[in-house]
Amino acid sequence: MDIERLISDRALSISASGIRRVFDLGAKLKDPINLSIGQPDFPVPDPLKSAAISAIQNNANGYTVTQGIAGLRTRIAAHLKADLGWQVDTRPSAEADPSAPGLLVASGTSGDLLLAFLALLNPGDEVIFADPYFVMYPHVARMVGAVPVMCDTYPDFRLTAERVAPLITSRTKLVLLNTPSNPAGVVASESECHRLLELCRSKGVLLVSDEIYDEFTYTDAREPGARGELGRRCPSPGRFQDAERNVLLVRGFGKTYGCTGWRLGYAAGPRRIIEEMSKLQQYTFVCAPAPLQWGVIPALDYDMSPHIDAYQKRRDLVVRTLSPHTHVAAPGGAFYAFPQVPERLGLTATQFVEKCVGRNVLVIPGNVFSARDTHFRLSYATDERSLLRGLEVLAELMQGG
373 and 224 together in one domain: no
Q: How many domains does the chain have?
A: 2
The reported pTM is 0.94
CB atoms within 10 A of CB 144: 18
CB 250 within 8 A of CB 109: yes
Boundary-marking domain end, from 301, 328, 358: 301
246 and 356 together in one domain: no
377 and 232 together in one domain: no
Distance CA 55, CA 69 (A): 12
272 and 338 together in one domain: no
Distance CA 339, CA 352 (A): 12
93 and 198 together in one domain: yes
241 and 175 together in one domain: yes
User: Which CATH number does the domain housing residue 16 bear?
Assistant: 3.90.1150.10
Of 260, 264, 254, 261, nearest to 293 by C-alpha is 264
335 and 248 together in one domain: no
Task: Encode the chain (401 residues) as per-residue pLDDT tens digits.
Answer: 888 899 888 888 877 666 767 767 667 778 889 999 888 999 999 999 999 999 999 999 999 999 999 999 999 999 999 999 999 999 887 788 888 999 999 999 999 999 999 999 999 999 999 999 999 999 999 999 999 999 999 999 999 999 999 999 999 999 999 999 999 999 999 999 999 999 999 999 999 999 999 999 999 999 864 344 344 588 999 999 999 999 999 999 999 999 999 999 999 999 999 999 999 999 999 999 999 999 999 999 999 999 999 999 999 999 999 999 999 999 999 999 999 999 999 999 999 999 999 999 999 999 999 999 999 999 999 999 999 999 999 999 999 86
94 and 222 together in one domain: yes
282 and 332 together in one domain: no
Boundary-marking domain end, from 249, 270, 301: 301
339 and 265 together in one domain: no
> In which element (H, E) is residue 3 found?
helix 3-6
136 and 63 together in one domain: yes
- Calculate Rg over the CA atoms of the chain: 21
Domain that holds residue 334: 3-43+304-398
User: Which CATH number does the domain housing residue 64 bear?
Assistant: 3.40.640.10
Establish whether the linkage from the previous residue to 132 is cis, with ω within 30° of 0.
Answer: yes
189 and 77 together in one domain: yes
Boundary-marking domain end, from 285, 301, 317: 301
C-alpha dihedral (306, 312, 316, 318), degrees to nearest 10: 110
